[in-house]
């Protein structure tokens, strides 16, 4: 068996085999490391991140659910919903890392969070599955309505990717997509590839695959998804990085968030018995 249960810095699953290294924290079912054999780390985690119960981890793949930001009316806390700081429990594993470099983990959101929340008082079940392979990282958030009434929620896989220099990357696949620029409040249409030249916080309406070209790391990643109406692209740049206590002042150069989700009015409605799957896959192109 290649994976072990760790408790430092917080509890979770960590696996090493050769130079491969994968990790998930129980809190938030938070995937924080994906590094197949022979590759540089794919996910970014801040050196200033807190690893404390109840506080979000800065980096990896936070699970945003059941609202994005402070919700559509701007009055919900905690920011990005409670799932990323809630406890999940490991419900299944399939570990063939030694044999074929694959590890599958499944987490279920703890029962206390599924129906007891004032801001989201609905019965449901939620699973997070992460598949680590030499070719790709696949993550799936599954939500099933187990109650008698329909409900609506936002979700996102808030993926932080490690890059050589964010000013040098290009993001293709969004040409022609409309987006809300959360920095200026404008709604705009993307023309050509996205390059990062300042604070970037955009919610695109798009179901397309993304290709992230990183000339500094010499790496190209394809980010595909399903069950997702929006792609969110986020880099805090200089001032916002300096203002965030869990984000190093100079770390903005080494990360980009490319998130798959359903947010800001593109939310998901489930009738009784229905299930929604949000999936994101990060592959080496």
Supply the residues annotated as catalytic: 158, 259
Q: Which of residues 80-99 bind ligand BG6 (CB under 6 A)?
A: 80
Smallest separation, CB 232 to ligand BG6 (Å): 5
Binding residue for ligand BG6 (CB under 6 A) from 56, 66, 81, 173?
Answer: 56
Q: Which is nearer to ligand BG6, 22 or 80 (CB)?
A: 80
Binding residue for ligand BG6 (CB under 6 A) from 125, 182, 277, 279?
Answer: 182
Contact flag: residue 36 with ligand BG6 (CB under 6 A): no
Contact flag: residue 79 with ligand BG6 (CB under 6 A): yes
Q: Which is nearer to ligand BG6, 15 or 29 (CB)?
A: 29
Smallest separation, CB 268 to ligand BG6 (Å): 17
- Token pair for 76: 């919900």
Smallest separation, CB 259 to ligand BG6 (Å): 6
Smallest separation, CB 128 to ligand BG6 (Å): 17
Site string for ligand BG6, 222-261 (x = CB under 6 A): ----------x-x------------------------x--
Q: Which of residues 94-123 bind ligand BG6 (CB under 6 A)?
A: none
CA angle 143, 42, 67 (to 5 degrees): 30
Smallest separation, CB 267 to ligand BG6 (Å): 15
List contacts with ligand BG6 (CB under 6 A): 56, 79-80, 158, 182, 201, 232, 234, 259
């Amino acid at each position: 068996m290649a994976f072990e249960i760790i408790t430092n810095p917080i509890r979770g699953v960590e696996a090493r085999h050769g130079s491969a290294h994968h990790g998930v924290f129980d809190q938030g079912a938070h995937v924080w490391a994906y590094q197949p054999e022979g590759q540089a780390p794919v996910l970014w985690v801040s050196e200033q991140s807190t690893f404390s119960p109840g506080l979000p981890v800065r980096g990896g793949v936070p699970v945003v659910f059941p609202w994005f930001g402070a919700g559509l009316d701007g009055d919900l806390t905690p920011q990005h919903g409670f799932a990323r700081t809630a406890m999940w429990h490991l419900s299944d594993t399939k570990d063939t890392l030694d044999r074929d470099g694959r590890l599958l983990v499944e987490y279920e959101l703890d029962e206390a969070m599924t129906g007891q929340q004032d801001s989201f008082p609905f019965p449901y079940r939620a699973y997070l599955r992460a598949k680590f392979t030499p070719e790709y990282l696949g993550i799936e958030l599954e939500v099933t309505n187990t109650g008698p009434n329909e409900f609506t929620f936002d979700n996102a896989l808030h993926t932080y990717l490690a890059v050589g220099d964010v000013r040098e990357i290009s993001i293709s696949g969004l040409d022609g997509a409309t987006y809300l620029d959360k920095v200026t409040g404008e709604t705009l249409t993307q023309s050509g590839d996205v390059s990062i030249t300042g604070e970037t916080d955009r919610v695109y309406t798009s179901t397309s695959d993304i290709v992230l070209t990183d000339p500094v790391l010499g790496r190209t990643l394809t980010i595909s998804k399903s069950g997702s109406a929006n792609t969110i692209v986020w880099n805090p740049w200089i001032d916002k990085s300096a203002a965030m206590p869990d984000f190093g002042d100079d770390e903005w150069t080494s990360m980009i968030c490319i998130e798959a989700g359903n947010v800001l009015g593109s939310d998901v409605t489930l009738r009784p018995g229905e299930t929604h799957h949000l999936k994101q896959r990060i592959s080496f192109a």
